[in-house]
Amino acid sequence: MGAVIMVQGTASSVGKSVICAALCRIFLQDGLRVAPFKAQNMSNNSFVTRDGGEIGRAQALQAVAAGVPATTAMNPVLLKPEADHRSQVVLNGRPLGSLPSSEWREKKPEMWKAVTGALDRLRAAYEVVVIEGAGSPAEVNIKSGDIVNMRVAMYADAPVLLVGDIDRGGVFASMLGTLELLEPEERAMVKGLIINRFRGDRSVLEPLPQMIEERTGVPVVGVIPYFTDIAVPEEDAVALESAVPQGDVGEGVLDVAVVKLPRVSNFDDFDPLARTPGVRVRYVTSPDELDGAHLVILPGTKSTIGDLQWMRSRGLDAAVAAAVERGAAIIGVCGGYQMLGESIVDEEGSEASAGSVERGLGLLPVETVFREAKETRQVRFKMNGGGGLLAGAAGVEGEGYEIHMGETRAVEGACPAPAHYLRHADDLVRSGAVSGDGRVMGTYVHGLFDSDEVRRVLLGNVAAMHGLPEPDVSAFSLDAELDRLADGVRAHLDMALIHELIGR
C-alpha cells in the first residue's frame, strides 16, 4: 500500500486545499506517483471526471497538481448545499439524492464504506496519497459522525499536519485549542504544525514557533507566506464573502459584474477573466452595482429557482434588463443560462413543488424543463460565428464540462442562434443560445473562459461594443502556477521531515 500524509486545519478556509495541491506537485517533482484524496467535501464548486462522475473542484485541481487524471475515488462523498439544512449527496460520483442533514447523517455507515474503499484503491495505485481533512477535527458536537478527519487518519495510520491561518489572528490559540480537544490517540497522529498565510519578515514571528512546540510537543514544520501573486482557484464561495474587485482599474478597463447568487456554484469559471489585463471583475448583490458594467454574468447555481426569486426580491431582474437596454452584454452559465430563458418548468419537484412553472428573465427564447436525471459530462465545443458576442467566433474551440439537471430548448416558433456546438465523443450536439442582436448568450459549459482564444473573442467583442481597447489576452499556464506554488511552499516547509513521515 502506498504511503499517506494528511493535512487538517484548525478551521475551515485556513488553506488546507492549497497546501495539499502544493504537496501533490512537490511529490510529483520529486519523482513520486501521487494522488489527492478528500473523504467528504461540502461545496457547490464541482468538476466532472472523464467517466462523467462528479467530485469537488479542489480535488480536481489537486489531481492536476499531481499530474494524474481526476477520478471519483479522490472525493467519494460530495455534499452540494441547496438550503441551510439540505444538500444533494453525491456518492462515488453519482447523485444519491437531495436530503436534509438529518437523513444524510443516517447514511454515514454507507458513506464510510465508500470512503475506505476509495482510499484503499488509491493507495494500491499510487506511491503517496495526500489526504485533505475538512473544517476542524475538534468540532466536538459533530465528531461522532466524522468520516473525513481523525477517523480517516486513524484508519490509514496517516501522519497529520495541522494548519492554522495566522492572517485571521489567534493562530497560537487555535492550534493549542485544537490539540487540547483531541483524544490522546488522535493527538498522537499530529506530527507537525503549519502556520499559513504569514505576511512580512519571518524573524518578527519569533519566539512563537518555539513557544508552540514547547507547549504542545509538536514541531512547527513550516511558516508559509501569504502568496498574493500565484493564480490558483479558490475552493469555496466563502472566498466571495470578502471578495474585492479583481483586475485592472481606471479608464478604458472592461468592467465585468458577476451576480453573487446565494447558492453560486463553480465561481472559479471567472478567474481567467480577472487574470486578463484590461479587465476588472466584481461580484455584486444589488441593482446599483450593475451600473457601468460592460458585461454582466449570471453564474451557475445549485438552486436556480430559489436564486432567481432572490434576484427578483432585490430588483436585480429589472437591473439586468436595464443593463441590456443600455447596451451591456449578458452571459449566463448553467443555472444563469436557465434564468435567462422564458420559463423554468419543474415537473418532478426537483427544486420546487412538482409541476410548478417559474417565469424566467425572458432575455433568451428558450425554456428549461427540470429532469430528475443529472447531466454530467466533459465536452469539447466549437463556437459558431454571428453578431455581437459571436462576431469572429466561427470555429473557435475549447474544452469544459457540464453539470446540470435541466434540459433547455427553444420555445415554439423561436429560432435562437446556437452559441456553439458541443462535441462529446464523435457526436455534435446543438447547445446554448444567443439573442437576435448577439448581446445575450447562454451556455451550459463550465470552463468556457479557460480557453485563451475563447476569452480573446468574447472579451474583444464586448470591448468593441463599448469602444474600449481590446484586452490583452495572453497565454496562462496553470501548470506553471502550480510549479510556482510548489516552489514557494517547499522553500518554507521542512521537506526532510515530510519525506521521513511518508517513509522516504
For residues 378 and 278, what is the distance between their CA atoms, to the nearest angstrom?
A: 30
Which cell goes with 18?
492549497
- Residue the block writes with cell 476542524: 136
pLDDT at 244: 56
Kindly state whether residues 330 and 425 are assigned to the same domain: yes
Residue 416 has pLDDT above 60, yes or no: no
Give catalytic status of residue 334 as yes or no: yes
Kindly state whether residues 85 and 172 are assigned to the same domain: yes
Cβ neighbours of 155 (radius 10 Å)? 16
Kindly state whether residues 176 and 286 are assigned to the same domain: no
Active-site option among 294, 404, 420, 446: 446
**What percentage of the chain's residues is helix, strand, coil (to nearest 5)?**
35, 30, 35
Instruction: For residue 313, count CB atoms less than 10 angstroms from its CB and return exposed for 0-12, middle for 13-18, buried for 19 or more.
Output: exposed
pLDDT at 423: 45
Give catalytic status of residue 294 as yes or no: no
Confidence of residue 362 (pLDDT cuts 50, 70, 90): very high
Q: Higher pLDDT residue, 334 or 504?
A: 334
Active-site option among 20, 294, 334, 404: 334
Kindly state whether residues 277 and 407 are assigned to the same domain: yes
For residues 213 and 279, what is the distance between their CA atoms, to the nearest angstrom?
A: 46
Side-chain half-sphere CA neighbours of 488 within 13 A: 21
pTM of the model: 0.91
Q: How does the average pLDDT of the chain come out, rounded?
A: 90
The three-state (H, E, C) secondary structure of 89-126, written as one string? EEECCEEEEEEEHHHHHHCHHHHHHHHHHHHHHHHHHC
Kindly state whether residues 422 and 300 are assigned to the same domain: yes
Dump the DSSP string for 144-179.
GG-SSSHHHHHHHT--EEEEEEGGGS-HHHHHHHHH
Query: Across residues 94-114, what is the average pLDDT?
Result: 87
Kindly state whether residues 157 and 204 are assigned to the same domain: yes
389 three-class SS: helix
For residues 189 and 360, what is the distance between their CA atoms, to the nearest angstrom?
A: 53
Kindly state whether residues 143 and 251 are assigned to the same domain: no
Q: Which amino acid is at 83?
A: A
Residue 246 has pLDDT above 70, yes or no: no
Kindly state whether residues 262 and 217 are assigned to the same domain: no
Instruction: Supply the Cα-derived Rg of the chain in whole angstroms.
Output: 23
Kindly state whether residues 191 and 50 are assigned to the same domain: yes
Kindly state whether residues 177 and 319 are assigned to the same domain: no
pLDDT at 474: 84
72 neighbors 117 (Cβ within 8 angstroms):
no
Which cell goes with 175?
492550534
Kindly state whether residues 278 and 217 are assigned to the same domain: no
For residue 187, the domain's CATH number is 3.40.50.300
Q: How many domains does the chain have?
A: 2
183 three-class SS: coil
Kindly state whether residues 70 and 124 are assigned to the same domain: yes
Residue 422 has pLDDT above 50, yes or no: no
Q: Which residues constitute the domain of residue 26? A: 3-231+481-501
For residue 252, the domain's CATH number is 3.40.50.880
